[in-house]
Homo-oligomer: A and B are copies of this chain.
């Protein structure tokens, strides 16, 4: 009997799961730390995949979700945050050689969009924006039932659009990108700046400040914390209005750690979208909701890629 394997590579851990030819219930799932002093991540990935595949099963195909930019056509990871060994790494060729099965690759935000579209919150929508808000901000687009990848597979970097041209510096080295205004670390940065400037808040005595801790304070009535999410939501809504003018989707799905703060973030996003759309048509029947697959979206997307990629 044949199986598909889905792999989700992250900066701290790699996960692999074996799936039957249909359905989303894994036959086996395992994880290992990405980094180890004893071996290269690619070697450990091969062993991880072998570990979830019973010897009597035939691997029909392997789908791989990688962090950072990749080229799905050439099968090369350009860069993977915090994984030096995966810089310009031909992972498709490597895994095919080692495991003797076809391998399909895309980045995790694209595959999360694919997963949410086929098996999550976006089912039945053929025009979909997926926006993941966590340490960084990334995205994936389904347009007319196609995953948008671009000429070299590096499209839909939705966190790297300029929102405030003279705004704070982004991790990529350019000022005022959405990521620099509304990602988790930047919600914390803004809050710290306000505290340093003398703002009063229950957070003034907090040992550490993260978007999660600020979210808790906001739910407990802290005004500064609420304002931090209000502001992040405002900028996300401003960028989202642009994306609506560009893509005219029927649904926007928010994933990533920061989106788990739910209405604290979604309510200001919706207000900002309504303020910024050029015509109410763009927002009227639009659904803005949170991801249904949570941290499994990328892996489910990798499974769908494995299944549909080989049908071509």
On A, residues with C-beta under 8 Å from B are: 69, 78, 126-127, 141, 143-144, 146, 148-158, 160-165, 170, 172-174, 177, 238, 241-243, 245-250, 276, 278-279, 281-282
Contact = CB atoms under 8 A, between A and B. Distances in A.
Given A143-B143, A146-B144, A276-B174, A161 B281 contact: no
Given A143-B143, A143-B155, A170-B278, 15 more contacts: A69-B281, A127-B151, A143-B146, A143-B150, A144-B146, A144-B148, A146-B146, A148-B247, A152-B248, A153-B248, A155-B246, A156-B246, A157-B278, A162-B241, A242-B242
A278 B177 CA distance: 10
A248 B149 CA distance: 8
28 contacts: A78-B281, A126-B151, A127-B150, A127-B151, A141-B246, A143-B148, A144-B146, A144-B149, A146-B146, A150-B249, A151-B248, A152-B281, A153-B248, A154-B281, A155-B246, A155-B248, A156-B246, A157-B246, A158-B246, A162-B238, A162-B241, A162-B242, A162-B276, A163-B165, A164-B165, A172-B278, A172-B279, A173-B278
Contacts of A149: 144, 248
A205 B157 CA distance: 47
Contacts of A143: 143, 146, 148, 150, 155
A278 B79 CA distance: 13
A160 B156 CA distance: 18
Oligomer copy total: 2
Nearest to A79: B279
A156 B278 CA distance: 13
Nearest to A71: B281
Contact of A246 (B127, B151, B246): B246
Nearest to A178: B242
Closest 5 CB pairs of A and B: A150-B248, A155-B248, A157-B245, A161-B242, A172-B278
Contact of A155 (B126, B174, B247): B247
Contacts of A154: 248, 279, 281-282
Nearest to A145: B146
A40 to B, nearest CB: 25
Contact of A250 (B151, B165, B177, B281): B151
A279 B155 CA distance: 12
| Most chain B CB within a 10 A radius of its CB, from A141, A173, A245, A281 | A245
A238 B165 contact: yes
A246 B177 CA distance: 13
Nearest to A144: B146
